Amino acid sequence: MADDQPDLPFSKLTRALMANVRRAGFPPLYQQTVAQARQAYAAGVGAMGLPSVELPRVESFTIPGPAGDIPARLWANSHEHDLPVLLYLHGGGFVVGGIHTCDAMCRQVARLSGAAVLAIDYRLAPEHKFPAGLEDCVATLRWLVEQGHTRHLDASRLAVGGDSAGGTLAATLALMARDAHIPLKLQALFYPSVQVGVATDSFKTYASHTLLSAELMKWFEAHAHGGTAAERWHREPLLAPDHRGVAPAWIGLAQCDPLTDDGYQYADKLRAAGVPVTVQVWPGVIHDFINMGRLLPEATQAYEALASALRDAFGR
């Protein structure tokens, strides 16, 4: 992140947040080992994210996966049976993050929406190159369809969602669900990365002046690259040959984010294929703002917007 803040439309609170990060003097993630980066990211989310809210139902368990059991956690604001469910996939460039870094957000969304929210610790790179994490997501979706009733979940009311790399996974999963004839009510994507190596206008504007730098994105991609994806669009869902018939989309974006144009381009691609799309943009904030709720009120606004989209999709 550059030391200067040029004449860009950052909000006052966003400018203060980035100034505080600079003053703290922590090395950027891409200058750390993977283990250090994971600890640093978790610590950052812990310091900037909202405190966890108590919920009546929080369950930790495992789901059978292609390479062993997948850790999972379920949150709900009631013990009601046949709850609709959002499968939420955390961000972190396929390298960092986990259930622990999306816990506070998932609790808020479960509380506000009335739906159950399920998150998993999908396998991370570089120990497990992409598409290992995607394979875990596919296995989890199939488990929800076939075994979700064992957790009192309604398999007929499913949605997928995620932020950043998790948004990539969710977008790809929605396409794969369509191909597998698994009906989804919604795909909810926070600032997804839907293509690799394309210097969009938002990338050129913000990749040198925010926490998500060009160097960090390159570091993430270098660690994740090396696996064998069956199709290029599994990592770059913008390039899928056909987007017709995929689940309706809700796309949440930060204005001051290298990936903002990715979100707009994906929305345009879906609309051109006849897919209903809603895009909401939060002015003045940066990538990963949903994990900065102690400092940025827009995070809570985003939770409420997502919860509203889920209620509409699920007919609650």
| Cβ atoms of 130 and 235 closer than 8 Å | yes
Catalytic residue among 136, 257, 262, 288: 257
Catalytic residue among 11, 209, 287, 288: 287
Rounded Cα gap, residues 115 and 84, in angstroms: 5
Q: Which amino acid is at 103?
A: D
Nearest alpha carbon to residue 119 among 131, 132, 128, 109: 109
Handedness of CA 140, 113, 103, 93 (dihedral sign): positive
Task: Give catalytic status of residue 113 as yes or no.
Answer: no
Task: Give catalytic status of residue 287 as yes or no.
Answer: yes
Q: Which amino acid is at 190?
A: F
Burial (CB count <10 Å: 0-12, 13-18, 19+), residue 276? exposed
Q: Show Cβ contacts of residue 132 under 8 Å, excluding neighbours closer than 6 positions.
A: 67, 122, 123, 125, 227
Rounded Cα gap, residues 109 and 15, in angstroms: 27
Strands 57-65 and 68-76: antiparallel
Rounded Cα gap, residues 65 and 54, in angstroms: 29
Catalytic residue among 113, 164, 193, 213: 164
Active-site residue list:
164, 257, 287
